[in-house]
Amino acid sequence: METTLRGVGVSHGVAIGEVRHMGTAVLEPPAKQIPAEEAEREQGRARQAVEAVAADLVARGNLAGGEAQHVLEAQAMMAQDPELMADVDRRIAVGSTAERGVYDAFASYRALLAGAGEYLAGRVADLDDVRNRIVARLLGVPMPGVPDSDEPYVLIARDLAPADTALLDPTLVLGFVTEEGGPTSHSAILARALGVPAVVALPGAGELAEGTVIAVDGSTGEIFVEPSAEKRAEMESAAAARKAALSTSTGPGATSDGHKVPLLANVGGPGDVPAAVEAGAEGVGLFRTEFLFLDDSKQAPSEEKQIAAYRAVLEAFPEGRVVVRVLDAGADKPLEFLTPADEPNPALGVRGLRSLLDHPDVLRTQLTALSKAAEGLPVYLEVMAPMVADRADAKAFADACREAGLNAKFGAMVEIPSAALRARSVLQEVEFLSLGTNDLAQYTFAADRQVGAVSRLQDPWQPALLDLVAMSADAARAEGKSCGVCGEAAADPLLACVLTGLGVTSLSMGAASIPYVRTTLAKYTLAQCERAASAARASDSAEEARVAAQAVLSGE
């Protein structure tokens, strides 16, 4: 009998297939004692398993590239931590087996991380994944993670570990559903990058029986369990119609009455450029430069290395607009040479522009490298600072850009509510604003973007968030300047229409979302988008805002 469940839709499309569950966590090894003469052999087994797992993580990262590579390399370093390995050796020396020594040593380290502040506590899941892989290898049991299957399936998981998500095969994984996560979680961002339908924050997803047929609607967040033939036909027909519409979607972003809304791509490095070009991106709205700095947390990359990486992206968009975000370090992206190690709450501490202003040499080198990378290229370079709180921050950044001789527009990201509330003041110092809706929601609602329990507060349809977007756009219009959105909100085609109606002047998103947004935007006039925006802001919840906007655009 068909039943319906509802989570949070985070990646468009329809997936119909049998359920396959992510491999379960490794069982706790037995606590048996070994003779003293076997200790050295067991220590050798433990070291071999650790090195094998670390090598596998690095190999997966090399294949995946981009941000996933850095996450996986960090996991490999975690596995090889000298103090952790010393603890494993000590435990084996007093009688533990290799697998038990690893299990107990990681448990001890896990407890330290869990009590060491928000950032380190957030690494517990990564640590658990490393432990499970090492113990599985020692026990000779299947590695936890994505199931082996020759047939396409819908993946069900509590959440997705970096080592698993980096190499998901979209020809086998039709879509996925997770119990945890939110619209801006790594799982959601990955799904959009892969172009597979996904629903997150679905309580009880793990209770769906292996082999059960489900239909996943990544737009609405609906899951149909054992869908009827009629329901399957209806969803497949809708998916086919959407695919046909997407295939004919080309050209610049615009409403049906010709109001231009440039559609730009979010990229993490040169490896993301081909997909953006293929999707018809009109430029880059968010070039995250952290990928260069995360290669070595102990020192900044050389000016020469930065020039080469920046130029590779700039050359891909001749006559296009490329908006570069200078290094956004801190919180969940700590750098040993730049960010404090002992902050009680890194997300509210010295991160983003604050870190760079404390280390002006790092900012100066990056700005100089950007200037040299753009020399001789017919590209419209714009550079923006993350985590701008007020006019003083904006002025400090603009002054640094001028001192570095940067021939580009200088802008500020609006991720802190104070910057939205005082946007007109900020715009006295910079030439454009770019709304990072992921962090703006996080700080507006005090809701961690990685915590599924507060995902409703991370929903970019929240009317309070739309109010802050409108304030920023109104300020930019009054000053004759631009105001774009580069957060995940721009990837929602319906919300893209609302953002346009609020006065946003450009939209930047993962490359896979650009055709969806282009097609949807072209269906409506600017006036319709404005009416939908007003209806959404007049609502009292995210769901009401979504329904109200849809009703306006549907002519109901």
- 3-state class of 434 per DSSP? strand
CA gap 274, 202 in Å, rounded: 33
Alpha helices in 360-450 (DSSP H): 360-373, 391-403, 417-421, 423-426, 437-445
Q: Per residue in 182-193, is it b (16+ CB within 10 Å) or e — as a string?
A: bbbbbbbbbbbb
CA angle (298 as vertex; 411, 308 as ends), nearest 5: 55
Question: Of 483, 486, 497, 529, which residue is the catalytic one?
Answer: 486
On whether the CB atoms of residues 167 and 62 are closer than 8 A, the answer is: no
Tokens of 223: 């899951």
Strands 213-217 and 14-21, bridge-based pairing: antiparallel
Is 486 tagged catalytic? Answer: yes
Q: DSSP assignment, residue 345? A: -
Give the distance, in angstroms, between the CA of residue 341 and the centroid of all CA atoms in the same chain.
24
CA gap 351, 328 in Å, rounded: 7
User: What are residue 24's phi and psi, to 5 degrees?
Assistant: -75, 160
Is 401 tagged catalytic? Answer: no
Give the distance, in angstroms, between the CA of residue 516 and the centroid of all CA atoms in the same chain.
19
Name 471's Cβ contacts closer than 8 Å, sequence gap at least 6. Answer: 420, 421, 423
Strand partners, 383: 324, 410
Dihedral sign for Cα 502, 508, 510, 513, please: positive
- For the chain, state the CA radius of gyration: 24
| Cα atoms in the Cβ-side hemisphere of radius 13 Å centred on 314 | 25
The amino acid occupying position 472 is: S
Question: Of 12, 186, 483, 497, which residue is the catalytic one?
Answer: 186
CA gap 518, 279 in Å, rounded: 10
**Residue matched to tokens 């939205």:** 420
Residues annotated as part of the active site = 186, 486
